[in-house]
Amino acid sequence: MTTTDPDTGFRALDATPMGYGSMRRKEDARFVRGKGRYLDDIVLPGMLHAAILRSPHAHARIVSIDTSAAEAHPRVRAVITGETLAGLGLAWMPTLSHDVQSVLATDKVRFQGQEVAFVVAEDRYSARDALALVDVEYDPLPAVIDAQHALDADAPVIRDDQEGRTDNHIFDWEAGDAAATDDVFARADVVSSCDMLYPRSHPAPMETCGSIASMDPVSGKLTVYTTTQAPHAHRTVYALVAGLPEHKIQIISPDIGGGFGNKVGIYPGYVCAVVGSIVTGAPVKWTEDRSENLMSTSFARDYHMRGEIAATHDGKLLGVRVTVLADHGAFNGTAQPSKMPAGLFHVFSGSYDLAAAHCAVTGVYTNKAPGGVAYACSFRITEAVYLIERLVDVLAHDQGWDPAELRRTNLLRSEQFPYTTALGWEYDSGDYPRTLATALDMAGYDELRAEQKQVRSAYERGESPMLMGIGLSFFTEAVGAGPRRTMDILGLGMADGAELRIHPTGKAVLRLSCMTQGQGHQTTFAQIVAEELGISPDDIEVVQGDTDQTPFGLGTYGSRSTPVSGAATAMVARKVRDRARIVAAAMLEVSPDDLEWEKGAFRVAGDPAAAATMNEIAMAAHSDLELPDDVEGHLDATCVYNPPNLTYPCGAYVCVVDVDTATGQVKVRRFVAVDDCGVRINPMVVEGQVHGGLADGIGMALMEVMAFDTDGNHLGASFMDYLLPTAMECPSWELGETVTPSPHHPIGAKGVGESATVGSPPAVTNAVLDAIRVRHADMPLTPAAVWRAVRGTPLRTDLAIG
């Protein structure tokens, strides 16, 4: 049985479970000993080290680049510039969003921190030294920093590399039925609207991005060790970008120190490392420093939204509409299903039964780094959930309604599933009212409201500067991209392969395309096989992260591992079980139909003594046992899982904060999170995933932001300026669960990796604004922002504070 201490959560089971349960993670044996093998731990013979010279300007024309002094440095082996790359046709590379991106700048620099030159030296210190020896002359240009002015007639044109371009407009995209939505709004008794910014933030994994490229001049094989969440996608992109044959490219993703979407894309440094290796004939390692990570690699969010919500005057929600100005930076480089320029943002009707909804999204270029979809956002469902959950609270604020009651009366009911939303999504399952009720009950919602009233009285009597806030959010996630007919990356359908081989002694190896970055795949995927086949997880090796060793698949992001690769794992195990049945039938000399499966063995119906265990079956499958003519020997299988639909986990969150109105300081006192992610394979690991996401909510709502001054200087370019939550800001999380299995997933599981990151920011924001009774203020609610919000002069959080 799972041991749960009420006050201290899950503890690993003493014995390894034969399937699901809170087992200790297999990967921890190396991590707790300091024996993980991360990118920068890898040393190849003769390896060189690289560093990147970056633009100090947000927008400038490059007049000249003089590399002679750097090349004269005794330990420098190569200096690569945009000109070098242009000669190889590699100065620009395609993005994942139908655009191109500069690898090393040739004509202009378009954001501060953009890659200008790549220095390869014999050691990492010399590479850094040589950066100062590269002389670049810039002619600075006015920068486009405020997205709200990117489309002004007099705005400087950032992408003049594109012939005939006269503005900074990237795309217009819409979803939902505009006319039907307008109708609903016209009929509504009450409408609330609100402008809100989900500011630019960064995944900031503890390990930065990096790559070691090694081109074997004899075999022509390129090996790239790299921090990637999607090894197979990277291999295909390298093949397409560099024109190298795909079978001559091996991508190896070693242990990854956190990804959160930051390690999905291909960055200029990776491409330069490949070129560096080709030029020098030696392996080349490039690793980012923290500033480079924050300034240049995939940012997240940056959505300027104007939302409206319509309701009847007795509190029935009717519809939502939103216009979005999406700041995509200097190159359109979001990583998302390619047919969806706003990702999965159009699940913004949320968890409510709405008659109509519509969104119109406009993407613009600005002089900032490219990216946009990252940081555990489920392809922009963070923005969608923030929008709807803020709008519900704004409506409640405007009408004087209780936000819990407003949600409760409008949540989808369990009998409505499967439910097709006004925006076309088919939600698979859920029991939303029960999930919300569980959270409110755990939080003691009524008691909290009573306490809040008392605190406010003391405040109003002038006895205390303190106020208390209670914030709710109810989210529906949409994860497990995706059905290949609707979702692809660069034309690659989002289906995942799996290969399972049972060795003669009954041990097994499972090969997968997804890539753990701390989620515990080595453990949980072994548990899925164990549950299906009765082989201990200790006896199952899970292989990931090496394209020469694993089947094709699109990788780990968007919480898709369990929904897609997890399903593939269950399906491939069932294929093996089907084969095992035939082998067992031959062993026991009965018809396969006479066998009954009992975890780990087939038994003859009516004769329980006659049985074959998986161990015996595995050995027999490799032996001289006579098998039916159409049955191959051995015991293995492959499969490709194409998900029929996304999975739709949900959750109800309650956050309690104390706000010091005289200083603006916020203390998160409690956080109750009830998640429903269907069947839980390893409850301890699921709980850990939720914890991490809840901390993201504290970070996002209270401190994380990348703002820019009018010159385009990045004001969050180190961990002194880009603040991440510590143990002191996080409360002791209070977790609960409801379980509604996904009806279409083979084991009823739903993805959970990003649920809490998606669901928690509005809960924290709603709590702070509930405390100070302010209708809206943008994240992050730093002490200054809260103090200003109380005084009715809120800060614009994406720009420098003036």
Partner 1 sequence: MEITVTVNGTGYTRDVEPRLLLVHFLRDTLGLTGTHWGCDTSNCGVCVAWLDETPVKTCTVLAVMADGHRVRTVEDLATGDTLDPVQQGFSDRHGLQCGFCTPGMLMTARRLLDDDPDPSEATIREAISGQICRCTGYENIVRSVRAAAEIERTADQEARA
Partner 2 sequence: MQVPAQFEYERATSVAHAVELLTRYGPDSRLVAGGHSLIPMMKLRIAEPETLIDINDVAELTGIRLDGTELVLGAMARHADLLASPLAVEHFPILVDAERVIADPVVRNRGTVGGSLCQADPSEDLSAAFAAVHAVAVIEGADGRRQVPVREFHVGPYQTVVGDAEILVEIRVPVRPGGGSAYEKVERRVGDWSVAAAGAALWLDPTGVVTDAGIGLTAVGAAQFAAARAEEFLRGVPGSDDAFTEAGRIAAEDCRPVADQRGPVDYKRHLAGELTTRALRRAAARARGQEA
Three-state secondary structure call for residue 361: strand
Q: Which does 783 bind (CB under 5 to 8 A by kind): partner 1, partner 2, none?
A: partner 2
Of 140 and 257, the one with the shorter C-beta distance to partner 1 is: 257
Q: Is 710 in the site for partner 2 (CB under 8 A)?
A: no
For the CB of residue 452, give the shortest distance to partner 2 in the complex, in Å.
23
What are the tokens at 554? 């699109």
End-to-end CA distance of the chain, in Å?
Answer: 58
**Cβ contacts of 685 within 8 Å, gap of 6 or more:** 22, 25, 519, 520, 523, 524
**What is the total residue count of the chain?**
802
Q: What are the structure tokens assigned to 55, written together?
A: 């633009």
- Residue pair 342/324 in contact by the 8 Å Cβ criterion: yes
DSSP string, 740-791: ---SSSTT-B---TTHHHHHHHHHHHHHHHHHHT-S--PSP--HHHHHHHHT
788 touches partner 2 (CB under 8 A): yes
Task: Work out which of 61, 124, 634, 691 binds partner 2, going by CB under 8 A.
Answer: 124
Q: Which is nearer to partner 1, 176 or 371 (CB)?
A: 371
Q: Which is nearer to partner 2, 107 or 289 (CB)?
A: 289
- According to the binding rule CB under 8 A, does residue 707 interact with partner 2? yes
The whole-angstrom separation of Cα 744 and Cα 483 is 12
Q: Judged by CB, which is closer to partner 1: 9, or 633?
A: 9
- Strands (E) across 67-189 are located at 76-81, 92-94, 100-102, 108-109, 115-121, 135-140, 169-176
- Closest approach, Cβ 764 to partner 1, in A, equals 13
Sheet with 607-613: strands ordered across: 595-598, 601-604, 607-613
Contact partner at residue 518 from partner 2, partner 1, none, CB < 5 to 8 Å by partner kind: partner 1
**If binding is defined by CB under 8 A, does position 782 make contact with partner 2?**
yes
Residue 621 or 795: the one with the smaller Cβ distance to partner 2 is: 795
Minimum distance, C-beta of residue 720 to partner 2, in the bound complex (Å): 8
* Pairwise CA distance, residues 255 & 518, whole Å: 8
Closer residue to partner 2 in complex, CB, 596/709: 709
**Which region, judged by CB under 8 A, interacts with partner 2, from 120-128, 237-245, 496-504, 529-537?**
120-128
User: Across-strand partners of 200?
Assistant: none
Q: Of partner 1, partner 2, none, which one sits near residue 128, judging by CB under 5 to 8 A according to partner kind?
A: partner 2
Binding residues for partner 2, how many (CB under 8 A)? 34
Tell me how far, at minimum, the Cβ of 371 lies from partner 1, in Å.
Answer: 17
Which residues, 6 or more positions from 608, have their beta carbon under 8 angstroms from its beta carbon?
Answer: none
Shortest reach from residue 135's CB to partner 2, in Å: 16
DSSP assignments along 689-709, one per residue: HHHHHHHHHHHHHHT----B-
CA pair distance 645, 667, nearest whole angstrom: 40
Burial of 400 (0-12, 13-18, 19+ CB in 10 A): exposed
What character string, x for contact with partner 2 (CB under 8 A) and - otherwise, covers 131-170?
-x--------------------------------------
What would the x/- binding string for partner 2 be over residues 645 to 674, using CB under 8 A? -----------------xxxx---------
Task: Assess 795 for contact with partner 2 (CB under 8 A).
Answer: yes
Q: Measure the CA angle with vertex 634, ends 631 and 635; round to 5°.
A: 95
Q: How far is the CB of 301 from partner 2 (least distance, A)?
A: 18
Of 3, 41, 125, 608, the one binding partner 2 (CB under 8 A) is 125
User: Which residue's CB is nearer to partner 2, number 282 or number 785?
Assistant: 785
Contacts with 198 (C-beta within 8 Å, 6 or more apart), sequence order? 301, 302, 303, 305, 382, 383, 386, 387, 779
- Asked whether position 72 contacts partner 2 by CB under 8 A, the answer is no
Q: Using the rule CB under 8 A, is 206 a contact of partner 2?
A: no
Task: Report the partner that residue 34 touches, choosing among partner 2, partner 1, none (CB closer than 5 to 8 A by kind).
Answer: partner 1
Verify binding: residue 703, partner 2, rule CB under 8 A: yes
Are residues 696 and 758 in contact, defined by beta-carbon separation less than 8 angstroms? Answer: no
φ, ψ of residue 525 in degrees (nearest 5): -75, -30
Q: Which residues bind partner 1 (CB under 8 A)?
A: 8-12, 24-25, 27-38, 40-41, 43, 124-125, 204-208, 255-258, 260, 289-291, 517-520, 684-685, 687-695, 718-720, 724, 726-728, 730, 732-733
In the complex, the smallest distance separating the C-beta of residue 730 from partner 1, rounded to whole angstroms, is 5
- Does position 128 interact with partner 2 (CB under 8 A)? The reply is yes
- 8-state DSSP, 618: H
Least separation in angstroms between CB 134 and partner 2:
14
User: With respect to partner 2, which residue has the nearer C-beta, 176 or 716?
Assistant: 716
287 touches partner 2 by CB under 8 A: yes
Q: Are 469 and 771 in contact (CB under 8 A)?
A: yes
Closest CA to 54 of 130, 122, 111: 111
The amino acid present at 663, given as its one-letter code, is T
Q: Tell whether residue 43 is a contact of partner 2 (CB under 8 A).
A: no
CB 35 within 8 A of CB 530: no
Instruction: Select from 273-281, 488-496, 541-549, 777-785 the region that touches partner 2 (CB under 8 A).
Output: 777-785
Q: Can residue 715 be called a binding residue for partner 2 (CB under 8 A)? A: yes
Rounded least distance, CB 199 to partner 2, Å: 12
Q: Which does 684 bind (CB under 5 to 8 A by kind): partner 2, partner 1, none?
A: partner 1
User: Does 787 contact partner 2 by CB under 8 A?
Assistant: yes
Q: Cα separation of 12 and 539, whole Å?
A: 18
Q: Any contact of residue 732 with partner 2 (CB under 8 A)?
A: no
Tell me whether strands 734-737 and 665-676 are parallel, antiparallel or unpaired: parallel
Interface residues toward partner 2, by CB under 8 A? 124-125, 128-129, 132, 287, 289-291, 662-665, 702-703, 707, 715-716, 720-721, 723, 725-726, 728-729, 782-784, 787-788, 795, 800-802
